Amino acid sequence: MEKLNTGLSEENRFGAVSILHHLLADEFVLYTKTRKYHWNVTGMHFKSLHEMFEKHYKDLEEKIDDVAERVRALGYFAMGTLQQFSELTRLEEHVDEDGNAEVMVQNLVKDHETIIAYLRKNLETVIEKYHDAGTSDFITGIMKDHEKMAWMLRAYSE
């Protein structure tokens, strides 16, 4: 942790970083799952889903970097081990899958919605408890991106 003089107390920065570390874990697990689905999707909609999953995992890869950089901007080191991600994520991994496109889409929608709900809940905490408007604005943007990806996936299922 670095000493900063940005108007946020160390306690408030630590609180915001804790939220960001959970988000980082979720983003990494969702990235990994989306990439796995990109590799393994089968069925009539293979091409369109293969391409959409690729776009999504590339977007998620950028988000992972952005979240880690936000942690660094707050003066802390970003976590980055698979063990840490596994301990902090709220998302489930799905090990035994057969490439069923519909199940993949449903799993991804559920994961995006989990992240959206987490971010929506923590927007108030970040601004009211930790007084960190920068992180609040940051996670609002991330939330909007997840809303769009979830919408695209739901549209596929309808």
pLDDT tens-digit profile of 83-126? 999 999 999 988 877 778 999 999 999 999 999 999 999 999 99
For residue 82, which of 116, 38, 31 has the smallest C-alpha distance? 31
pTM listed for this prediction: 0.93
pLDDT at 2: 63
For residue 1, which of 79, 66, 84 has the smallest C-alpha distance? 79
pLDDT tens-digit profile of 46-85? 999 999 999 999 999 999 999 999 999 999 999 999 999 9
Report the percent of the chain where pLDDT is more than 70.
99
